[in-house]
Amino acid sequence: MRVTGGLLIPESELSERFSRSSGPGGQGVNTTESRVELSFDVARSPVVPEDLRDRLLARLGHRLTDGVLTIAASEHRAQRRNRQAARRRLADVLREAAAPPPRKRRPTKPSQGARERRLAEKKRRSEIKRTRSDGIDRE
């Protein structure tokens, strides 16, 4: 399974578990094991480069159990389609976590014209509000 250009996960690294899906279904609802749990050991996988492993563990820490990422899929009635959905979702989660961090923001200052426009608008609003009162005390 290809995740990114440099990360290819072989089928032997993935483990699947099947169970019965919950919810409405029909005749086969209590007999077919269509729910799929796909697991990938991020912490101990030899195919994940060391620098990428650190980034994945840091970003996926809340989703990992003992370094293992588990994805469950049960939205389809067929086991085959749930297996495909779980693989697609696993690849998406890993791809998002493996993305390099965004570049740091370069601080900028407002231009002289922008500062002057802002002050002019403040003066105009102030004048509008000042002329609203008619000078009569209302008690």
User: Please, what's the b/e burial string for 49-71 (b: 16 or more CB within 10 A of its CB; e: otherwise)?
Assistant: eeebbebbbebbeeebeebebeb
3-state secondary structure of 38: strand
Using one digit for the tens of pLDDT, what is the confidence trace for 3-17?
Answer: 777 788 888 888 888
Is pLDDT at 100 greater than 90 in this prediction?
no
Q: With a cut of 80, say whether residue 22 has pLDDT above it.
A: no
Query: Band of the pLDDT at 28, cuts 50, 70, 90?
Result: low
